[in-house]
Amino acid sequence: MKQTKIPFILIFLLLISGNVFAGPFGLEQGMTKNQIEALIQSKLNQVDTSSYKSKTAPKPNSLFTEYTYTISPKHGLCQIRATNDNIGDAKATNTYASQLTNTLIKKYGNNYKEIYPGLIQWVEDDGPLIDDLRVILFSAGEKNGKNILFIMYEFRNALKWAEEMKEADANSL
């Protein structure tokens, strides 16, 4: 009897493990740098104290070419930014922006605000967000002669990271 339970437990664990990191780009709030590197099977490039870049994510989206991770030493992953600054012409950018906006609305709901043309935002205060998210920003348009796509996911622990950074700055004086 005990031997038959083990395969069922293993199968159950395999079935639910696919949803363990089901947040944006396969990431979850609080993940460590080492966890992310293990998932992408590559080292992250450090940009500053808590920012790291990579050309991929655990579940990359083909429209984005670079991912920036904000990782707090105390609170783990706080924010993800994905960009593509070589998306093509204005028509292609508008097509991709429309597709991504529709996908985001399906996943996160209609409680978004258009800050200005080409920039939309979901904020937890305007309605509940899933995946421990606090803010989502999505932008598409022309900047410095290039057509770009940009998305930022900020987790709820980002406020703790901001306090951590203020404390570190105050302690440095």
**pLDDT given for residue 162 in this prediction:** 80
Q: How would you class 5 by CB atoms within 10 Å of its CB: exposed for 0-12, middle for 13-18, buried for 19 or more?
A: exposed
Q: Mean pLDDT in each 10-residue stretch from start to end of the chain (173 residues)?
A: 46 40 91 97 95 97 97 95 92 93 94 92 91 96 91 95 80 76
pLDDT at 20: 54
- What was the pLDDT predicted at 2? 53
Provide the edge-to-edge strand list for the sheet that holds 112-116: 45-46, 51-54, 66-72, 76-84, 146-155, 133-143, 119-123, 112-116
pTM above 0.75, yes or no: yes
